[in-house]
Structures are given as C-alpha cells and as structure tokens.
Amino acid sequence: MAVKVVRRPELTFWEKLYIPQILCGLKITFTHFFRNLFLHIAHHLGRFKHLPASATIQYPEELRPLMSRFRSRHRLTLREDDTPRCVGCMLCETVCPAKCITIVPAEHPDPSVEKYPVRFDIDLGVCVYCGYCVEVCPEDAIRMDTGILDLAAYSREAMQLDIHELKDPKLRKPINDCSLKFPHQCRLADGRMKGRWEGIEGARTRSGSPSLST
C-alpha cells in the first residue's frame, strides 16, 4: 500500500506574527470595499456602467439571463390560424415519467392533420422538468422556452395548466373568459365542449384540397 505523506505547511515566523497576515487580509477586503464603493457611486452618476459593482441580481425586477436550452414552463406552439400544432399523438403523455400530461384528442377538420387536442393539461406540481415531452414531439408542438420560472401558487389546483395557459404563456390565473374559438373541453364551462371550427383558416381545407399548414 502506497503511503502518501502529507506535509502540513509550516508557518514561517513572519506568518506566526499574525499582524502582517492580518494586514494582508485587510488589504483584500479594503480593496473590494473601496472599489465597490467607488463603482456604486460612479454608477449613480452614470459612469463605469460596464464594470459591475456587485454580483447581485435584483430578482423580481431583474432576471438572470437564461441559457437558450434552459427548461422553463411549457407552452404549446401554434399554427398560423392560432390553433395548437399538437396532433394529439399522445407521445408526450406516454413518455412523461411523472405522468403529468393529460391529453384528450379529437378529430381535426383537416384530414392531413387528423387529430388535435380538445384538452391538453399539464400539472406543474407533478412535472419534473425532464423535457422528454419536448424531445419526443414529432410536430414541435410543445416547447419549454417561455423563461417563466416563478411557478408559485397557493393551491395544487392552481398549479394545473390547461390549454388556455399553455397556448398563451402570458395568461395568469384566475382565467375568467375563454378566448379560444376551436372546439375544446373548457374548465370554465364545467368540462363541456366549447367553440366551433367555423371561421378558422385551417378548418376550411376539410372539403377542399388537403394542404399542409405550417
């Protein structure tokens, strides 16, 4: 067995005197103190803005820059006609390790699309932010790029997002009026179907020529 002899560094007489070492320490703290004091004052006068005076980020007002691959709150991407790109294939619901996604698919008027979600719920209280749903989606219909990190709520119910909030990340609870036009099961109407396909661009192709909407 190899023996490794650890030699503790012996203090020199100069170091044992304490006081020179204390002065060395004070030099560091004083340098920081006066540099930051100067920079804080200079910032108030609008100078030296490129030199930070502190590492602090004033959180609620100021957010830390996020990496582009950072996984934040989910959103459903949309077609040009404001309907979700989701085709209700259930891959994300299947792959989800936390089982926090609930999808109820229905038939889409466009035969080339086949299905769309009438319900798309994510329970953020259960979600583990693994990002598998984003990885697995064949339609690029779900992304985790909203940059929303402040997911605090007072109840478990409030942590459950439905299609309204997923479609529009700016929406915050409580949501009182439903602005979705296409048919969906709405929590605001006790889970009954609401909305129609009339007047929605993508729905017109049902009787006409099939076209891939982007």
Partner 1 sequence: MMEVVLIKLVLAGIVFFAALNLAGFHTWVERKQSALIQDRIGANRAHIFGFRMLGMFHGMADVLKMFTKEDLVPEGADRTLHALAPFFSVFFALVTFAAIPFGDRLILGDLVIELQVAKIDAALLYIFAMLSLGVYGVILAGFASRNNFAILGGLRATAQMISYEIALGIAIVGVIMVYGTMDLAELVRAQGQTIGGWIPLWGIVTQPVAFIVFVTAALAETKRLPFDLPEGESEIVGYFVEYSGMKFGMFYLTDFLETIVVASLSTTLFFGGWQVPYLMPDGFHFPWGGELPVPHLVYVLLGVASFSIKGLLFCFVFMQLRWTLPRFRYDQLMSLGWKGLFPIAVVNIVVTAVVLAFLGEAS
Tell me how far, at minimum, the Cβ of 121 lies from partner 1, in Å: 37
Locate 90 and state its tokens: 């259930």
3-class SS shares of the chain: helix, strand, coil, % to 5: 25, 15, 60
Size of the site for partner 1 (CB under 8 A): 17
Looking at the Cβ atoms of 60 and 208, the one nearer to partner 1 is 60
Interface with partner 1 by CB under 8 A: which range of 5-13, 54-62, 65-73, 114-122? 54-62
Indicate whether 207 belongs to the interface with partner 1 (CB under 8 A).
no
Contact flags string 89-128 toward partner 1, x per CB under 8 A: ----------------------------------------
Per-residue DSSP letters for 36-104?
HHHHHHHHHTT--TTS-S-S---TTTS-PPPPTT---S-EE-B-TTSSB------HHHHH-TT--EEEE
Contact flags string 10-49 toward partner 1, x per CB under 8 A: ---------x--x--xx-xxx-xx--xx--x---------
Contact flags string 173-202 toward partner 1, x per CB under 8 A: ------------------------------
Cβ proximity of 110 and 205 under 8 Å: yes
Indicate whether 54 belongs to the interface with partner 1 (CB under 8 A).
yes
111-130 exposure pattern, b = at least 16 Cβ within 10 A, e = fewer: eebeebbbbbbbbbeebeee
Locate 142 and state its tokens: 């779900």
Tell me how far, at minimum, the Cβ of 35 lies from partner 1, in Å: 9
β-strand pairing of 160-161 with 142-143:
unpaired
Looking at the Cβ atoms of 31 and 211, the one nearer to partner 1 is 31
Which residues are at the interface with partner 1 (CB under 8 A)?
Answer: 19, 22, 25-26, 28-30, 32-33, 36-37, 40, 53-56, 58
